[in-house]
Amino acid sequence: MDKKLKMATVTAAIAIVVVLACTMMSDIGNEHRSSITALVDGFDSYGDLTLTVTEEELQSIGVTYGDDIRLESETDSFLAMYTISHNGAPSYSAFISFDGDKACLGFFNLDARNCTDLNEGDVVTLSREGRNPYYDKIPNYLKGYTDDPEDYDSPIVFSNFREVRGGDLIPDYIYRSASPWNAGNRSPLADDYLKDCGVEFMICLNLNEDEVAKQVEENPDAYASGLFKEGKVLSHRLHSAIHLYPHDCEFVIESLLKAEGKIGIFCTQGKDRTGLHCAVLEGLAGATYDEILDDFMESICNYYHIEKGSEEYDIVSKMYPERVFYLFAHPELIPHPEKIDWNSVVFEEFNPEEVFTKYLVDYVGMDADKVQKAKGKLTGRI
């Protein structure tokens, strides 16, 4: 054999041996596997699934906060965002976060048990799919909010207090805020603003009557407590996942019809439950789509320091309230919104009065005359 050919052959053989050796060593000590498996070992108190996987194991396949994880089982396959908490997860989309050392798989604004075929004891394979398209564009939203009034522009912003407006809604009639009882140091401010505006009746969306009674006992001097003692507070523990509990809407409409005088409406922070139910009231009063969206997003700006008109504002709007509003207009999709390709949805403006009226009558099952009376009370037409 030619000497040069021999040398080339030997060199090639050595190269192959080196590559194989490196591959074997890599396989032995590989810290970045392509996938891992976990067991579904139950459900937590929120209805989220719990998985037998650790943060270290997720990191071993290259997963970091903001990544999309592909979950696959014999019966299901879907993506879940890896995030610190559900905050930042788009509505009706899956997320994985840790509660202590327990991995939780949830669907934001949904009950995970109704969103996947996974059951306790099932084995799932997890692999990194890539970067979530939203995560890096919503830094303020992900950061969350604080309970320090010094971090906010004013006490009114801090307590998320304002008049409910839109369409033909009677001016100086309904006010919204954080809770005057159990929103930490926001509560005394909210209570004072509700008093100063002359609110005579309150609708509480985050506590049942017994829970309100306990708050009144602990805060006997609050203005809201005085109204409760006079029988001028209606309360019910509502859910932020409004479409899972459509009869929550009925409670708010019924409370509106029973209320006398100026109304204050609130949940804990006055942004999610209060925001969605105020949107319905505003819509029934003839508010435009932009008006109800702007009012909902004002709370998001208040809490998370997001600038209106910014890219982050538009992204949060589309991943949260506009998805919820879309289902008001398309109730046939409510049973499984997690199956909607939300990235392909075009959010079109609709007539809120028509859409919310149809939703309340046809989907919730409310009496049409009662809905009409609510409209009349909101606008002064009765």
DSSP 124-175: EEEEEEEE-TTGGG-HHHHH---S-GGGSS-HHHHTT-EE---TTPPTTSEE
Residue 112, token pair as written in the block = 């995970």
Total residues belonging to the chain = 382
Least confident among 2-16, 62-76, 331-345: 2-16
> How much of the chain exceeds pLDDT 90, in percent?
84
Q: Is 12 within a domain? A: no
Q: Is 29 within a domain? A: no
pTM for the model: 0.89
> 212-238: per-residue pLDDT in tens?
999 999 999 999 999 999 999 999 999
Q: Sheet holding 201-204: strands in order across? A: 162-163, 174-177, 263-266, 201-204, 233-235
Give me the chain's average pLDDT, please: 91
Least confident among 11-25, 132-146, 150-164: 11-25
For residues 129-139, average pLDDT: 95
Beta strand ranges found along 30-76 (DSSP E): 36-43, 49-51, 67-72
Q: Is the pLDDT of residue 7 over 60?
A: no
The per-residue pLDDT for 33 is 62
Q: Is 6 within a domain? A: no
| Sign of the Cα pseudo-torsion (82, 86, 89, 90, in order) | positive
Tell me the CATH number at 337: 3.90.190.10
Single residue among 136, 156, 180 that ends a domain in this structure? 136
Q: Is the pLDDT of residue 88 over 90?
A: no
Nearest to 255 by CA among 232, 228, 225: 232
Residue indicated by tokens 């192959």: 16
Q: Are strands 162-163 and 233-235 parallel, antiparallel or unpaired?
A: unpaired
Q: Is 284 within a domain? A: yes
Domain that holds residue 44: 36-136
Residues 326 and 191 in one domain: yes
Q: Is the pLDDT of residue 352 over 60?
A: yes
Residues 202 and 283 in one domain: yes
Which amino acid is located at 257 in the chain? L
Cβ pair 173, 263 in contact under 8 A: yes
Residues 315 and 344 in one domain: yes
